[in-house]
């Protein structure tokens, strides 16, 4: 897939990466209608894209980072100094040299926590940095965090909690990412940016130290490995049906057309003449083959998978909960294939569903303590 490494691509990739996953519920996601078929949604949500996202994000960012060397840093230097012995003189006692009084280091402050996941802490500092990166990414896209009514602070915290749950599951499954693997990946990224000299500047601009970035990179590599493990048995084929449908706004007309079909009228001809769907209507209402979860009107999909080939449904009335408008459908299945190869979008949807289901199970079985009370 050709990628245009522009700034918008970089920021989108960054927002996706730091969100850890595509959270359909949090995003209030609604599939867009396919340009060729308004009944079939574009299913382009795919969790196991972390390597691809990392590639877009890191390589693109590094290749477009601002010029210049590493950001200037200064650290105070301290020279060891020795204090002379303290001599105390009195008229009654000889001169003595007391033993140095041991100094007591101040107690190490206890790190503040944002949450706990199965007893493992998520530091407040980590949460605050992630939140800052998210806000910067949204600002670069021209959005104000939270303007859509979503609690983006909770979204960020949830992402960190889920990342920790994935890490714990990987440890249980014996899946690990070695430091050599991370170093190799990081070396590749540095090499890609060697002519630009922008890596250190990018780290500083995004509130990263190199150690923190390596830890985050290792986590994303671990997530990738876990996703591959969890979705390994997702099939490449599945049950699909091919159907035609007629979409109408008039209940009486729908009843009339159904009667004509039962009396032998040609379904495709009636769809061409009467269907309100300007895309499928001219093709006789043909939806083509589709798998479960593909249609944006689930009631139509459910009926289609219940019908046998050449069978026709009754009139199906579907009311939009927002507008209150009722649309009427008549559906006819023309073919059924139990092992039809899934296209890329169809299989991506199955992978998304599998991982989403697994992640929900992890959350339900976990002991999670939100110490920020976000949401």
CATH architecture of 238-341: Roll (3.10)
Numbered ranges of CATH 1.10.4030.10 in the chain:
7-68+111-234+350-370
Which helix or strand (DSSP H or E) is residue 219 part of? helix 210-230
| pLDDT score recorded for residue 208 | 79
Reported as a single tens digit per residue, the pLDDT across 96-146 is 455 555 555 566 566 799 999 999 999 999 999 889 888 888 887 788 888
Global pTM value: 0.63
Among 322, 335, 318, 333, smallest CA distance to 276 is for 318
Q: What is the CA radius of gyration of the chain?
A: 30
Residue 37 near residue 288, CB atoms below 8 Å: yes
Burial 152-165 (b: 16+ CB within 10 A, else e): bbebbbbbbbbbbb
Quickly list DSSP for 105-129: PPPPPPPPEEEEETTEEEEHHHHHH
Q: What is the pLDDT along the chain (375 residues), one digit of tens a residue?
A: 333 333 333 333 333 443 433 332 333 333 334 444 545 554 333 333 333 333 334 433 444 443 344 334 333 333 333 333 333 333 344 444 555 555 555 665 667 999 999 999 999 999 998 898 888 888 877 888 888 788 889 999 999 999 999 999 999 999 999 999 999 988 887 776 655 556 777 777 777 788 888 888 898 889 889 999 999 999 999 999 999 999 999 999 999 999 999 999 999 999 999 999 999 999 999 999 999 988 989 999 999 999 999 999 999 999 999 899 999 999 999 999 999 999 998 898 889 889 999 999 999 999 999 998 766
Phi, psi of 264 (to 5 degrees): 110, 0
pLDDT of residue 18: 39
User: Which of 1.10.760.10, 1.20.120.80, 1.10.287.3510, 1.10.4030.10 would CATH assign to domain 7-68+111-234+350-370?
Assistant: 1.10.4030.10
Q: How is 135-158 classified by DSSP, letter by letter?
A: HHHHHHTT--TTTTS--HHHHHHH
Instruction: Round to whole Å and give the CA distance between 347 and 234.
Output: 8
pLDDT tens for 252-290 read: 999 999 999 999 999 999 999 999 999 999 999 999 999
């Amino acid at each position: 897939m050709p990628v245009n490494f522009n700034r918008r691509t970089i920021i989108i990739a960054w927002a996706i990466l730091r969100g850890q996953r595509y959270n359909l519920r949090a995003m209030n996601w609604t599939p867009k209608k396919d340009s060729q078929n308004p009944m079939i949604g574009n299913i382009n949500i795919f969790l196991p894209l972390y390597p691809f996202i990392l590639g877009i994000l890191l390589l693109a960012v590094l290749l477009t980072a601002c010029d210049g060397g590493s950001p200037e840093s200064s650290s105070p230097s301290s020279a060891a100094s020795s204090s002379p012995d303290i001599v105390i003189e009195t008229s009654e006692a000889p001169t003595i040299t007391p033993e140095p009084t041991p100094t007591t280091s101040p107690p190490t402050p206890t790190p503040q926590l944002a949450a706990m996941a199965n007893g493992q802490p998520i530091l407040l500092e980590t949460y605050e940095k992630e939140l800052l990166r998210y806000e910067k990414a949204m600002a670069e896209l021209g959005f104000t965090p939270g303007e859509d009514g979503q609690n983006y602070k909770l979204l960020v915290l949830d992402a960190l909690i889920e990342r920790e749950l994935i890490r714990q599951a990987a440890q249980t499954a014996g899946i690990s990412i070695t430091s050599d693997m991370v170093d190799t990946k990081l070396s590749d990224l540095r090499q890609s940016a060697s002519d630009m000299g922008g890596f250190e500047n990018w780290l500083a601009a995004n509130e990263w130290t190199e150690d923190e970035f390596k830890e985050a990179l290792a986590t994303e590599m671990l997530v990738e490995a876990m996703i591959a493990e969890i979705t390994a048995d997702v099939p490449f084929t599945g049950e699909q049906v091919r159907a035609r449908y007629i979409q109408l706004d008039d209940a009486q007309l729908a009843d009339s057309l159904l009667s004509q079909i039962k009396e032998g009228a040609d379904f495709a001809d009636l769809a061409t003449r009467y269907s309100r769907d300007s895309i499928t209507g001219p093709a006789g209402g043909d939806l083509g083959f589709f798998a479960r979860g593909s249609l944006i009107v689930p009631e139509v999909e459910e009926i289609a998978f219940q019908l046998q080939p050449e069978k026709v449904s009754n009139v199906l009335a579907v009311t939009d909960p927002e507008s209150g408008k009722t649309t009427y459908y008549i559906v006819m299945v023309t073919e059924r294939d139990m092992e039809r190869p899934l296209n890329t979008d169809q299989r991506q949807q199955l992978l998304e569903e599998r991982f989403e289901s697994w992640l929900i199970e992890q959350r339900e079985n976990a002991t999670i303590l939100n110490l920020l009370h976000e949401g």
